[in-house]
Amino acid sequence: MSANLPILPGATLGILGGGQLGRMFTIAARTMGYRVMVLDPDPQSPAGQMADVHVQADYTDHGALKKMAEACAAVTTEFENVPAASLVELSRYTRVAPNAEAVSIVQDRSREKTWLRENGFTTAPFALIAHENELEAAALATGFPAILKVSRFGYDGKGQIRVNNRNELASAFAELEGVPCVLEGFVQMANEVSVVLARADSGECRSWPVGENRHTNGILDTTTVPASVSESIQENAQATATQIAAKLDYVGVMAVEFFVDSAGNLLVNEIAPRPHNSGHYTLDACVTDQFEQQVRALCGLPLGDTRLLSPVVMVNLLGDIWRQGPDWMVLLRHPGIKLHLYGKAEARPGRKMGHYNCLAESMDSAVELANITRKQLGIIPLSG
């Protein structure tokens, strides 16, 4: 349904999902004078704590969706596993961005990878596996080593198993309970980078500078900007992400994660239909951050300036370091560090509890600040 754009402060915006991304969207929207309604079944959701209204219900609850459709001038999502049918239902009554079709493609790894290939984007070699009898053909397509990944509901490296031969592949598929999977050839990685961008209804696109990402145990650990990869790789990554957004007819904030292999090839890994952890550096290091931009795109406002104001290292804070109770003064004593905590009551290993941005005049000083504080907090230092 088309809305009267732009939607101005004072209106109510809706968001499906109440995690940290929804929380930071809510803070940005409220700062700009909007009211926010969050839908999330969790009574203690990080975004629910910040919202004007928290509708505590399942994402498929028709009554809850109706309530949102009636109250909200526009609705977005922070969570890619939101049922596409709920977005379709909402879009009959109110503005929904991004569109349900784009979300449904990228929330299913098999569809996402197939869509990328059909649209001419380069990925790691892959094959789809829906049944045991497809294992052999998949192995021939990718070779070994390879990574078997579930098509749906995998995140932060969960639902992924590295396999070195046919026997391991068969047992990994059984371990994942025979659900539809993608088998991906293992990439000899030189680097991982991502592009976060926003696209408006007009087709205008603005991307932030490329982030260089390090993962530990499949979970994003740090994002460093400016990235150390070549200018041409950065330009290629931004152009590719922009083309993907256009082909998906995407409106809103979106991220594309890439692998840079040892030969310097840029491979698309995955697309996130929402702001992204690797874009958290924009909160403190850019003129406009990814959450304000999400509000702007959703409301049909002009997109904000994405310029980088300072070298930055973003460090994720996982629940692992909560065991000893983090000493927040380690971070708060530094004038160049910005701490963001998500208000999660329970800390678990691997759970994203917050992050901090280290800002400094030079990249070397930002990395040094990140390394010193990581060590003091008990997080392994960044290798060179």
Binding site for ligand AMP (CB under 6 A): 124, 147, 149, 157, 184, 186-187, 189, 192, 215, 218, 257, 269-270
Closest listed residue to residue 154, CA positions, set 272, 297, 30: 272
Q: What is the distance in angstroms between the CA of the first residue and the CA of the last residue of the chain? A: 50
CA angle 214, 216, 222 (to 5 degrees): 35
What one-character-per-residue DSSP string does 291-342 give?
HHHHHHHHHTPPPPP--B-S-EEEEEEEGGGGTT---THHHHT-TTEEEEE-
Taking the complex as a whole, the smallest distance from the CB of residue 126 to ligand AMP amounts, in Å, to 8
Cβ-based nearer residue to ligand AMP, 62 or 158:
158
Taking the complex as a whole, the smallest distance from the CB of residue 15 to ligand AMP amounts, in Å, to 23
Tokens found for residue 144: 């070994």
Taking the complex as a whole, the smallest distance from the CB of residue 327 to ligand AMP amounts, in Å, to 29
Cβ-based nearer residue to ligand AMP, 212 or 270:
270
Tokens found for residue 200: 């408006």
Tell me phi and psi for residue 299, to 5 degrees.
Answer: -90, 0
For 35-43, the CB contacts below 8 A with 24+ separation are 35/10, 35/11, 36/12, 37/12, 37/13, 37/67, 37/68, 37/71, 37/72, 38/14, 39/14, 39/15, 39/64, 39/65, 39/68, 40/16, 42/18
Cβ-based nearer residue to ligand AMP, 80 or 184:
184
Residue with tokens 């590719």: 240
Cβ-based nearer residue to ligand AMP, 9 or 218:
218
Q: State the residue number with the nearest CB to ligand AMP.
A: 187
Any idea how long the chain is?
384
Cβ-based nearer residue to ligand AMP, 78 or 184:
184
Closest listed residue to residue 15, CA positions, set 50, 33, 6, 276: 50
Taking the complex as a whole, the smallest distance from the CB of residue 212 to ligand AMP amounts, in Å, to 12
Cβ-based nearer residue to ligand AMP, 27 or 127:
127
Taking the complex as a whole, the smallest distance from the CB of residue 103 to ligand AMP amounts, in Å, to 17
Q: What is the 3-state secondary structure (H, E, C) of 335-377?
A: CCEEEEECCCCCCCCCCEEEEEEEECCCHHHHHHHHHHHHHHH
Taking the complex as a whole, the smallest distance from the CB of residue 218 to ligand AMP amounts, in Å, to 4
Cβ-based nearer residue to ligand AMP, 157 or 319:
157
Cβ-based nearer residue to ligand AMP, 147 or 360:
147
Spatial CB neighbours of 191, under 8 Å, sequence gap ≥ 6: 212, 227, 228, 229, 259, 260
Taking the complex as a whole, the smallest distance from the CB of residue 332 to ligand AMP amounts, in Å, to 30
Cβ-based nearer residue to ligand AMP, 50 or 182:
182
Taking the complex as a whole, the smallest distance from the CB of residue 107 to ligand AMP amounts, in Å, to 13
Cβ-based nearer residue to ligand AMP, 166 or 333:
166
Question: What pairing do the DSSP bridges indicate for beta strands 95-96 and 160-163?
Answer: unpaired
- Cα distance between residue 312 and residue 100, in whole Å: 34
- Cα distance between residue 258 and residue 237, in whole Å: 8
Taking the complex as a whole, the smallest distance from the CB of residue 189 to ligand AMP amounts, in Å, to 6
Taking the complex as a whole, the smallest distance from the CB of residue 348 to ligand AMP amounts, in Å, to 19
- Cα distance between residue 67 and residue 65, in whole Å: 5
